[in-house]
Amino acid sequence: PRVVLARNITDTIAKWLDRGELLESQGRPIRPGDIMILVRRRDALMEEIIRDLKQRIIPVAGADRMILTDQIAVMDLMALGHFALMPRDDLTLAEVLKSPLIGLTDDDLFELAHDRPGHLWDALIGKGRHHSRQPFAAAHHALCRILARADVVPPYDFYQEILDQSLHDKLPGGKTGRQRLLRRLGRDAEDPINEFLNLALAYDRVSLPNLQGFLHWLAQGHTQLKREYDQDRNEVRVMTVHGAKGLQSNIVFLPDTCHMPDGHHDPMILDMPGGAVVWPGSKSNDDRKVGKQRERHAQNRLAEYHRLFYVAATRARDRLYIAGYQGQQDPKHNSWYSLAEKMICPVAQEVQLAFGETGWRLASDQTADIEKASAAQISGDGESSLPPWIFDAVSEERIRQNIMSPSSLPGPAADERLEPSILSPLAGDKGDRFIRGLIIHKLLENIPGVSKPGRQQVGRAIVRQLAPQFSASEADAVIEEVVRVIDDHAFAAVFGPGSRAEVSLAGRPTSLPNDMTIFGQVDRLVVSEDEVLVVDYKTNRPPPMEPSQVAPVYLRQMAVYRALLRDIFPNTPVRCALLWTDGPHLMALPDDLLTRALDHLALAQS
């Protein structure tokens, strides 16, 4: 019944618009903006009406409220962001691969995941090398592009590129991410996508832009969006009666009039006369006073239900359509539908409706003069009401901020932009050696604070989580290498009291161009009264032996960290060092070398 009612309402609206039915009070054809559909609750009926209107290409403003993170399109976009932060989370990657953004089938995913030796991402890397399986190659290429952008652009730009640019021509369902989402999920997904981008832009403006922070903020906020409807927009409005207080429309539909509120949402505690409170439990336990108070609450609930009917009925200027749907039982005698039936049917004219049912119409002739302002409203193309500037070419938008990560800063030469290759992920070891650096970083972050007897156990747990394919001997070899670094007396200051791991740094260094905003994370930071020491871990094998042999990209990275920390600690010397885990070897970087790297960076930016 609910689906039938929604279809009958949208059929009626579509016929009005197609044949240009006259709105007599305004002296013009009915427009979508003349119509308001009011429901008591945001339930399946509301969703069905909005879906039908969109399928008929009737402009509709969408639901007046929505929980953004409950929308499927937003879930897919958030899953993609989580993948970009942690590509070896197998469940998240599986969600992304099955989503419309990538579009693998169940059979594709089974072929990729079944009987794999390690992580799903490693399996996709292997499959992506075989171009005979086009879906895997396209998925791998698209996800690599996403990973490359995740830590170098703000959240809004990250998602805007995914939605409105092509990741790979061979992905099914459309060229852009937005096209693929709308093709799979329908036009219902358009509003949540746009609101998601709006929130990403708002986050960029008020917070330090980073993907992890945005996703955490969005998930913790349980964001409920309330639309402030603009009556000048030519769209059908679908909303609750409570949300329509203070609004009016030329035509109002009330489709949800047969159902009445029951006691399911009554408070668990009853306020009794005299200030006492009672938890009544079951009705069978009520005494006379509790029963009377419960009945009084039910009467108040019914009175509020009737007051809401008055609010709904008085939103219409010209036409009010009262409808409803029911199951096997007739509407209750106090429902909106029954009250309207008692009042209207005795004096109304019985009519046969276009969809085969009987209705009752109460109408009066249009006797008042049509207001000139109303009759002169938009006649069709709307150009008469638009200001001249609307047709001017839009100037190029100025970039909000030049936000960059220290590890991806460009140098003056193209060959200086790339980090030196450690080990190829395409080597014949199924990618095991490729994640060695990730494991070492995680161990160096977590093990220094663990007592010596517990280091082996904690280290094995970390290796098992990041690389379950590693054997016990392989895991112990990596752990032994890290423990040797931590216990080395030469590194006592790096891992001693007062040192901090994974410290985020952000700002605009005064020694760089004004439009450069830096956001990065140092592996180790030690702040003492005498100096500030910043250390970054590098896993290159073999490592360079002299600072002059260090890759320019590393020098620029450390130079930017030094510039930020000098602004934060203007009266304290700042030292920079690289900790090469193969050896191990702590390499201090001379100030003059870092100064030249910073000068080259400023030159490249200018």
Domain boundary among 460, 490, 520: 490
Q: Is it the case that residue 416 has pLDDT exceeding 50? A: no
Interatomic CA distance for residues 142 and 84, integer angstroms: 12
pLDDT of 523-551, one tens digit each? 889 998 888 999 988 877 678 888 988 88
Domain containing residue 484: 433-490
In a domain, 376, yes or no: no
In a domain, 563, yes or no: yes
3-state secondary structure 180-197: HHHHHHCHHHHHHHHHHH
Q: How many CB atoms lie within 10 A of CB 220?
A: 9
**Residue 514: what pLDDT?**
65
Reference 558, options 587, 534, 523; nearest CA is: 534
Q: How many domains does the chain have?
A: 4
Interatomic CA distance for residues 476 and 463, integer angstroms: 9
Question: Count of H helices and E strands in the chain?
Answer: 20, 18
In a domain, 509, yes or no: yes
Interatomic CA distance for residues 509 and 1, integer angstroms: 65
For 408, residues 6+ apart whose C-beta sits below 8 A from its C-beta are 151, 152
**Are 58 and 192 found together in one domain?**
no
Burial of 589 (0-12, 13-18, 19+ CB in 10 A): buried
**Coil vs helix vs strand at 603:** helix
Higher pLDDT, 299 or 408: 299
**Are 74 and 203 found together in one domain?**
yes
pTM here? 0.49
**Are 537 and 481 found together in one domain?**
no
Residues 468-478, mean pLDDT to the nearest whole number:
85
In a domain, 426, yes or no: no
**Are 206 and 327 found together in one domain?**
no
In a domain, 400, yes or no: no
* Residue 254's CATH number: 3.40.50.300
Q: Is the peptide bond before 513 cis (omega within 30 degrees of 0)?
A: no
**Coil vs helix vs strand at 350:** strand
Instruction: Say what percent of the chain tops pLDDT 90.
Output: 19
**Are 82 and 31 found together in one domain?**
no
**Are 170 and 252 found together in one domain?**
no
Q: Is the peptide bond before 346 cis (omega within 30 degrees of 0)?
A: no
Q: In the structure, what pLDDT confidence band is assigned to residue 93 with cuts at 50, 70 and 90?
A: very high
Span between the terminal Cα atoms of the chain, in Å: 67
Instruction: Tell me the average pLDDT of the chain.
Output: 81
Q: Is it the case that residue 457 has pLDDT exceeding 80? A: yes
**Residue 409: what pLDDT?**
66
Q: Is it the case that residue 267 has pLDDT exceeding 70? A: no
pLDDT of 44-77, one tens digit each? 888 889 889 988 888 887 666 778 888 899 999 9
In a domain, 375, yes or no: no
Domain boundary among 170, 202, 226: 226
**Bridge partners of 66?**
225
In a domain, 369, yes or no: no
The number of CA neighbours under 13 Å toward the Cβ of 148 is 10
* Residue 128's CATH number: 1.10.486.10
Phi, psi (rounded to 5 degrees) for 477 = -65, -40
**Are 580 and 516 found together in one domain?**
yes
**Residue 428: what pLDDT?**
46
With the CA atoms of 75, 77, 80 and 85 taken in that order, what torsion angle do they form, in degrees rounded to the nearest 10? -90
**Are 414 and 521 found together in one domain?**
yes
**Are 409 and 555 found together in one domain?**
yes
**Are 257 and 351 found together in one domain?**
yes
Phi, psi (rounded to 5 degrees) for 219 = -70, -40
**Are 530 and 485 found together in one domain?**
no
Domain boundary among 466, 490, 514: 490
Interatomic CA distance for residues 141 and 148, integer angstroms: 11
Best-predicted range by mean pLDDT (123-127, 207-211, 289-293, 457-461): 457-461
**Are 506 and 593 found together in one domain?**
yes
203 contacts 155 by C-beta, under 8 angstroms: yes
In a domain, 38, yes or no: yes
